[in-house]
Amino acid sequence: GLVVLSLITIIIFASQVAGRLDKLHRRVSSARTTLWRRCNERYEATIKHADSQSILMAELARDAGLQNMFSADHLYHESQLTRLLQAGEISVPIQAAQLRLQDSRRIYNEAVRSTLYLRSWRISRWLKLVGRATAPRYLDFDDSLLNPL
């Protein structure tokens, strides 16, 4: 009786953990899509409202992202774009796009943290509850706030 009850409890718990993991992986995917959309909004604002050097960097960042989204090369160009924007005059549309980008990256990295934490649980590893899903990775690039007008 006790063994059967323990086994049922473990099965129910594992099922709940698997469901939570699936939900977290979907959340990471959704946050990643939103982050890419926010990067594109910043590119568009930069192209419309910034100097030629910043426009060139925005185009480089966009091209790097299209080739391999959130690769080391892409993240490098994102950081360089932020630094160039910080050095120049900042328009309200660029500032707004920058704030949305910063929020999106923070939300994405929080989703990654939650997912990695649950993936690290023994029951997740022992019962291979993550399936074939690859472990998400944090995205780190300079998206610090720009100086206000």
Report pLDDT digits (tens) over 42-72. 999 999 999 999 999 999 999 999 999 999 9
Q: Cβ–Cβ contacts within 10 Å for residue 100, how many?
A: 18
Displacement of CA 119 from its chain's centroid (Å): 17
- Its pTM stands at 0.89
Q: Which residue stretches of 1-148 are H helix? A: 2-49, 52-67, 72-87, 92-119, 122-126
Q: What mean pLDDT is predicted for residues 24-40? A: 97
Tell which residue, 15, 29, 36, has the closest CA to residue 111: 29
Q: What is the pLDDT of residue 144?
A: 86
Q: What is the pLDDT of residue 1?
A: 87
Q: What is the pLDDT of residue 132?
A: 87
